Amino acid sequence: MCLALGQAQVEAKPNVLFLFADDQCFETIGSLGLTDIDTPNLDRLASRGTQFSR
């Protein structure tokens, strides 16, 4: 009974994903210019999020 009365609203937290590949150049991902190799999963992530180029 006490739990039902004392519930507070929880704010939705953003989903954050950082990908660090120490041995991968930026031009080895399709969404950043690569045309020779398909990188569909990385391209999909890039299209839904924010890309930092520097």
Task: Supply the pLDDT for residue 7.
Answer: 65
Task: For 33-53, write each residue's pLDDT tens digit.
Answer: 788 888 888 888 888 877 776
**45: helix, strand or coil:** helix
CA distances 39 to 20, 27, 32, 44, Å, are 16, 11, 10, 9
Nearest to 51 by CA among 38, 37, 27: 27
Q: Report the pLDDT value the prediction gives residue 50, as an integer from 0 to 100.
A: 75
Domain ranges of the chain: 13-54
Mean pLDDT check: name the lowest of 4-8, 14-18, 27-31.
4-8
pLDDT bracket for residue 6 (50, 70, 90): low
